[in-house]
Structure 1
């Protein structure tokens, strides 16, 4: 008589290994497929690098140098105005070409794309959290509760500026890494999820199912 060993039943899950993100479209299309997606995936290297350096400088000034926001904006504005003023004076004296002020510094489409991506992803995040909170997948629910608690503990050791900067680094690195190492990340996530579910089934079999149940269920069946 053949008996199913625990390892046999556990290994069945490998055929349906879960993925971190189920998506048929590319990461570029998921991010909107516009200029914002190009920047987040470092396809426009110059712009992505400029934004990265700019935000890093801002973080350094706020967190390390401890600049306040209003004085920083005023000092940057004063510096830019002085540079343009000196440039214009020298251009008149030396017959150089003066500074060319563009009519539009930032394109409106950039902000529209960014707002659309944030709106869509925030709604998806809320739906995912609500789905997990319903208790349909208990191991996933416990994993998220534990992860949020760990993040809250880590976040208590960082200032608001540091958290914003860490969030920016995540936005500029995680989509790029996932786009390049999609298969490896999904395989790792599947392995971790498989191990967690396997250990949960053992815990459920050895402890939870051995807890005595009350007579309420028997009465309802009668």
Structure 2
């Protein structure tokens, strides 16, 4: 709002105070940029319709889980801090991975193994105990 107010004041009073007229600004986007922007918006709208139609429950639950995680992160971290952390991570994590690639890969493989073991344990202790309706031929 401050920049808009300064811009309006500059346009109104620059010619009187400094004997200068403000520059004429002509902003035009190329057609390819407009096509890309509207194509991206169209893709997001189609994905939104696909998620909300109820045809793909897996995608619906993934979207709901992602929104829930964003909401729970948002209760503890402000948007500005989250944006700063993301920008800082995007700038530093690739360099750190390039430097410590072998250690990161070994740790990631170990974590993936632990997650697979936990999923198997969850399947055995919880999911296998749920009665399922079986079709008779």
User: Comparing both chains, which one has the higher relative contact order based on Cα–Cα distances under 8 Å and sequence gaps of 6 or more?
Assistant: 1
Q: Which has the higher helix share?
A: 2
TM-score range, shorter chain: 0.3 to 0.5
